Amino acid sequence: MNLDGNQASIREAIDAGLLAGAVTMVWQGGKVLQVSELGHRDVNAGLPMQRDTIFRIASMSKPVTVAAAMTLVEDGKFTLNDPVAPYLPEIADLRVMADPAGPLDKTVSLQRPITFDDLMTHRSGLAYAFSVGAPLSRAYGKLMFRQDQDRWLAELAQLPLAHQPGDHLTYSHATDVLGIALSRIEGKPLPDVLAERVFGPLGMTDSGFSVSHEGRRRAATMYQLDEHSTLRDDVMGPAPVVPPTFCAGGAGLWSTADDYLAFIRMLLGNGTVDGVRVLSEESVRLMRTDRLTDEQKKFPFLGMPFWRGRGFGLNLSVVTDPAQSRQLYGPGGLGTFSWPGAYGTWWQADPSADLIMLYLIQNYPDLNPDAAGAAVAGNTALAKLQAAQPRFVRRTYEALEL
């Protein structure tokens, strides 16, 4: 077995000046089979990508926050079907747009309360600026994270829902709202909740909403392709050494390949890793089981037929038909689960092959509605860069003869 060929598409993107660098990892059957450190975490400084490079993982934060929530479910703090309003009274009386494309002030009443399940499956009616059309997208675009979580939630509560809770899936700030609920239930900041319930038990010492002073030196620079397909490095500031004012449970985490591997191994291992139990088997089963109805799968995900051969658990995509899923999204056996990040970070766990793959880059995406689907799928709109990750996956499966 030789996995070296899975690096070719990534090296091509780096050599073409479309990508600064990447860290990839292949784990199977209890062993790390390959770690690739390609290109640079900071091109101008000449700092290479390394196994312990720290990345902004964007929406890969979501399954972590959901896992922490499931530990509270196990403790009897709430159930998936419980309304969230007792902990988040700001959203108890939200209105719903009468017409998704209509004016914001033309609304109807909630038919039922938003539940924790709605938040964990993005069926609450909340949205992102890039997941809905005008005029609601413009209103979401004015929300500011540079304030505390209570003020942010109060501003969010002034906006109508895109649809009734439970109707269908609209990718959204729901996990950010879930994080606020966890913080209030536990009476402590969300970073402390995640540290106590996920990071600590799993030994994820490089994961959190900020990095140490030493970790800042290992953090990857964020890049963006400009209109001339040239990499810019002025799109984001340095990694924070103290948590931000609002720690967004849906997108705010930093992590490394080895840290996140521990989290994925825990999910693949039905709640345990290296003898440490973090979640019950039932909690993991719920996270990894498709919860969408056939009717809900008719709605595109950010303009893509994302549910072809796939479903959605508790913020994890789940392969339900490998043959159909493979045509659009590459190899992965029945039950393969994943959730990527908009900055190009991606992972997949395939129970049928006892296989985990990680692909970590730092490219700031175009999040306008037309390009958002490709970005959230872990790529950009540029063909050569977009092809790097799927080819890495396909060539890995080919090398392993799966």
50-54, 218-222, 227-231: least confidently modelled range: 227-231
**Hey, what's the torsion of the CAs at 275, 291, 108, 172, to 10 degrees?**
50
pLDDT on residue 384: 80
Domain-embedded: residue 261? yes
Q: Where among 151, 186, 221 does a domain terminate?
A: 186
Higher pLDDT, 383 or 120: 120
Query: Residues with Cβ < 8 Å from 231, sequence gap 6 or more?
Result: 17, 18, 19, 20, 43, 223, 224, 225
Q: For residue 311, is pLDDT > 90?
A: yes
Domain-embedded: residue 148? yes
Domain match, 296 and 324 both: yes
The domain spanning residue 268 has which CATH number? 3.40.710.10
Domain match, 278 and 373 both: yes
Domain match, 136 and 265 both: no
Domain match, 211 and 230 both: yes
pLDDT tens digits, residue range 343-353? 999 999 999 99
Grade residue 120 by pLDDT with cuts at 50, 70 and 90: very high
Q: For residue 206, is pLDDT > 50?
A: yes
Domain match, 202 and 229 both: yes
Domain-embedded: residue 43? yes
Read off the pLDDT of each residue in 18-27 and give the average, rounded to a whole number. 97
Q: Where among 186, 219, 248 does a domain terminate?
A: 186
* DSSP tally for the chain: helices H, then strands E: 14, 16
Enclosing domain of residue 322: 4-61+188-399
Q: For residue 375, is pLDDT > 70?
A: no
The share of the chain scoring above pLDDT 70, in percent, equals 96
The share of the chain scoring above pLDDT 90, in percent, equals 91
pLDDT on residue 368: 62
pLDDT on residue 382: 72
Q: Which helix (H) or strand (E) holds 232?
A: strand 231-232
Q: For residue 381, is pLDDT > 70?
A: no
Domain match, 315 and 338 both: yes
Tell me 271's DSSP state: T
Q: For residue 210, is pLDDT > 90?
A: yes
Domain match, 207 and 269 both: yes
Grade residue 378 by pLDDT with cuts at 50, 70 and 90: very low
pLDDT on residue 192: 98
Domain match, 225 and 300 both: yes
Domain match, 199 and 266 both: yes
d(CA 268, CA 361): 23
Please check whether residue 113 is in contact with residue 149, taking contact to mean a CB–CB distance below 8 angstroms: no
Rounded to 5°, angle at Cα 197 from 286 and 203: 110
Domain match, 317 and 366 both: yes
Read off the pLDDT of each residue in 368-385 and give the average, rounded to a whole number. 56
d(CA 179, CA 240): 19
Domain-embedded: residue 255? yes
Domain-embedded: residue 301? yes
Amino acid 330 reads G
pLDDT on residue 94: 97
Task: Say how many domains are in the chain.
Answer: 2
Domain-embedded: residue 67? no
d(CA 388, CA 396): 12
Q: Where among 122, 151, 186 does a domain terminate?
A: 186
Domain-embedded: residue 378? yes
Q: Which of 113, 80, 77 shows the shortest CA–CA distance to 94?
A: 113
Domain match, 248 and 386 both: yes
d(CA 397, CA 401): 6
Tell me 160's DSSP state: P
pLDDT on residue 366: 76
pTM: 0.95
Read off the pLDDT of each residue in 183-191 and give the average, rounded to a whole number. 98
Please check whether residue 312 is in contact with residue 318, taking contact to mean a CB–CB distance below 8 angstroms: yes
79-88, 210-219, 360-369: least confidently modelled range: 360-369
pLDDT on residue 376: 46
- Across all residues in the chain, what is the average pLDDT? 95
8-22, 176-190, 322-336, 368-382: least confidently modelled range: 368-382
Amino acid 396 reads T
Q: For residue 165, is pLDDT > 60?
A: yes
| Surface-to-core class of residue 384, CB atoms within 10 Å of its CB (0-12 exposed, 13-18 middle, 19+ buried) | middle
Domain-embedded: residue 66? no
Domain match, 15 and 42 both: yes
